Structure 1
C-alpha cells in the first residue's frame, strides 16, 4: 500500500527540525494518526487547533521515546550499497541483500532504506517532555 507523503508545512515546524520530524510522521503510526485526526476534523469531532496540539505532542513523544527508551541496537553487514546521498546533514542509504543482526535474530533483507541525521544539527530543539517511566 502506498501512502502520500505528509509534509510538516503549515504545522509550525521549519528547517532541520522539519526534516527530522517528517521521519516520524511518515512512519506507519504517524500516517495513521494524521489520517485519523484529519477525518475527525473533517467530521467536526475535533477542532483543527486540538488536532495540531496532538500532532505536536506526537512529535515530542517520538523524540523522547527514541532518545530515552530504546536500548536495542542492530548491526548490519554485507549487501550492496545501491545509492547514497548526503544533503542538509541527512544521510540516505539504499542497501540490497543486507544482513541485519541484533541480540536475538539475524535476517537478510532484500531492500533497506536508512535515513540518519545528526540531532546536533537540528536548529530548533524539541522541548523535552517527561513520561511516567522517567519520573
Structure 2
C-alpha cells in the first residue's frame, strides 16, 4: 500500500482475511498451553476494548521449556465480532 501497488480497499480486505485465518488457526490447531509470570507490571491501559500491558522480568513456561525476557508488551482484545467493526465496500 505504501508503494501504491494496491488500493487501501484491497489492503483492508487482505488484512481482514489474514486476521480471520490466524484467529481460526489459533482456535482450532494450536494445542500448546503456555504460562507466564511477571516480576513487575509496569503499566496497563484499557482503551476502546483493548487491554495493553507492559511487563518486565517475565518468565514464559511451557511443559519442559523456560524462557526469560526483560520486557514484554501484551495487547489483548475480544476476538468475537472483530470483522463486524470494519465496514467492507466493493
TM-score (norm 1): 0.50
Q: Give RMSD over aligned pairs.
A: 2.7
Determine if the alignment matches structure 1 residue 91 to structure 2 residue 51.
yes
Distance 1:86 1:50 in 2: 30
Q: Is the 8 A contact 1:77 1:100 kept in 2?
A: yes
Distance 2:20 2:31 in 1: 18
Q: Which has the higher helix share?
A: 1
Q: Which has the higher strand share?
A: 2
TM-score (norm 2): 0.70
Q: For 1:50-61, list aligned pairs within 5 A.
A: 53-61=13-21
From the superposition, tell whether residues 55 and 119 of structure 1 become closer, same or farther in structure 2 (CA, over 3 Å). closer
Number of residue pairs aligned between Structure 1 and Structure 2: 84
Q: Structure 1: which 5+ runs fail to align?
A: 1-36, 42-46, 126-135
Q: Structure 2: which 5+ runs fail to align?
A: 86-90
Q: Which runs of 4+ in 1 moved over 3 A?
A: 37-40, 47-56, 120-123
